[in-house]
Amino acid sequence: MIRITDRELCCGCSACADCCPHGAITMKADAMGFRYPSVDESLCVDCGICEKVCAFHKPDSAAADTCEAIRFPDLMDESQSGGLAYALMRKAICNGFIVYGAAVDDDFCVRHRRVDSMDGLAPLRLSKYVQSDMKGIPAQVLEDLRNGRKVLFTGTPCQCAGIASAAGKMLRNLLTADIICHGVPSPSVWKGYLESMERRHAKKISSVVFRDPSLGWHGHREAICFGNEKVVSDEYTFFFYQHLMLRPSCTVCPFASLHRVSDITMADCWGVEKILPGFADDNRGCSVLFANTKAGLDFTRDFPDGCSRAPMEIPSEKDQANLYSPSSAHKRAKSFENTYIRKGYDVVLHRFGIQSRSHRIDEFIKKVKRHI
Ligand SMILES: Cc1cc2nc3c(=O)[nH]c(=O)nc-3n(C[C@H](O)[C@H](O)[C@H](O)COP(=O)(O)OP(=O)(O)OC[C@H]3O[C@@H](n4cnc5c(N)ncnc54)[C@H](O)[C@@H]3O)c2cc1C
Ligand code: SF4
Ligand code: SF4
Ligand code: SF4
């Protein structure tokens, strides 16, 4: 049976829990809100299915067949990059697929959900920079596949790998689209941040956007709305890019590689201004599309509503670091975690945040090193 002795070796995809035929596994959150399987040994019959289904250590991957810069001008204002994810999901629904993706729920937690109509697609748009909860999702995908439905699953590479592994022999009707993945932040810190914002503004939050597209493609800051008042901040984004609150598995991720586990890979086409001058110079966004399998190639051959696309070389390590290796944890990530668990969000903001003394010292040391 699955035993989590090292937190780095589980990405929380829920595949083992949903595939256990005896219902012996539940996903339980740790103090950072990251979910891990927990086995009720009184129900377990030691069949080994959960270990077999776990795809975290053995990526079954293919190198990308094609790489293109692509943008959908009518979709970009409400997408993170060039609108590729929504274009894929829209095409899938038009072709009778069930679509799965990450959405922000009413309680501002991020969870994967199942969508079977065009009306339901909007919440799946935009990147949510926090780990999405996959509770019950592999089971729903399996049910759809058993019923002969075609499924498009979108998510992080580890989620796609978990779903594909759970699907086993039913892969024919499953299409997976992953992102190049920098790592997923802690759901608990995200919650702590929102509670702190409500306290500091003495108002209830009405909506959130993790990376507000109205600030331009290159401007990564979160927008928190209190009714008509919008507060733009980089407090949370800063923790994300400092790698202070990533899931432990993200720092040893086996999927941060040119060999992809999904049929399709999508990402920001960073560096497009230099790679393809004139193609996307307006700071409105551009996606990069990899078709990694024949099914991915066939599905992305054309998009009925039009787009601009151009072949390009595979992005370099400078433009897409996580295509080559995982993000490394900040040297104070452990201390951040301990402080957060013991003292809460406001204390980590003060000690580790963008305005903190420790960050100013780090910046000063970096500056001095640059001049030596
Ligand atoms: C945590 C995270 C890390 C990322 N790291 C990188 C990176 O290092 N380099 C890079 O180029 N791009 C990265 N991306 C992808 C990028 O931000 C865009 O999501 C991607 O280019 C697709 O943009 P789009 O315009 O096509 O569609 P959008 O509409 O913006 O994308 C939405 C799609 O992303 C999926 N999604 C959103 N949030 C999550 C989540 N929390 N978990 C799983 N799936 C999610 C949705 O299911 C949907 O399919 C990351 C995204 C996330 C969520
Ligand atoms: S070994 Fe079998 S019964 Fe036990 S937890 Fe794993 S899948 Fe369930
Ligand atoms: S199947 Fe997923 S949730 Fe289960 S142990 Fe493996 S990585 Fe963790
Ligand atoms: S970095 Fe790897 S382990 Fe972490 S969410 Fe992304 S794909 Fe999963």
pLDDT digits (tens, 9 = 90+) for 348-371: 999 999 877 777 777 777 777 766
If asked whether residues 231 and 267 sit together in one domain, one would say no
Name the DSSP letter for residue 120: G
Same domain for 108 and 176, yes or no, is yes
Structure tokens at 248: 């432990």
For residue 55, the ligand closest to its alpha carbon is 3
Q: What is the pLDDT of residue 26?
A: 97
Strand positions, DSSP E, 40-169: 62-63, 66-71, 97-104, 110-115, 150-155
pLDDT for residue 371: 67
Burial of 319 (0-12, 13-18, 19+ CB in 10 A): middle
Mean pLDDT of the 247-275 span:
95
- Global pTM reads 0.95
Determine whether the shortest distance from the Cβ of 209 to ligand 1 is under 6 A.
no
* Nearest partner of 110 among 86, 82, 134, 79, judged by Cα: 134
For residue 27, what is the domain's CATH number? 3.30.70.20
Quick one: pLDDT band at residue 338, thresholds 50, 70, 90? very high
Structural contact between residues 305 and 102, judged by C-beta atoms closer than 8 angstroms: no
Domain total in the chain: 3
Average pLDDT value for the chain: 93
Ligand 3 atom closest to 25 (CA): 4
> 71 and 30 in one domain?
no
For residue 203, the enclosing domain spans 187-245+331-367
- Closest approach atom of ligand 2 to CA 16: 7
Per-residue pLDDT at 174 exceeds 70: yes
Do 229 and 256 share a domain, yes or no? Answer: no
Per-residue confidence band for 60, with pLDDT thresholds at 50, 70 and 90: low
Tell me, yes or no, whether 33 and 151 share the same domain.
no
Percent of the chain past pLDDT 90, that is, above it, reads 84
Residues 154, 48 share a domain: no
For the Cβ of 69 lying below 6 angstroms from any atom of ligand 2, the answer is no
pLDDT, tens digit, 9 for 90 and up, residues 86-95: 999 999 999 9
193 vs 362, higher pLDDT: 193
| 214 and 163 part of one domain | no
CATH number, domain of 122, equals 3.40.640
> Residue 311 pLDDT > 70, yes or no?
yes
- Ligand 2, atom 7, lies closest to the CA of 20
The Å distance, Cα 21 to ligand 2 centre, comes to: 7
Q: Average of pLDDT values for 103-117? A: 97
For residues 128-136, give the mean pLDDT. Answer: 97
Give the largest Cα separation in the chain, rounded: 65
pLDDT of residue 169: 86
2, part of any domain: no
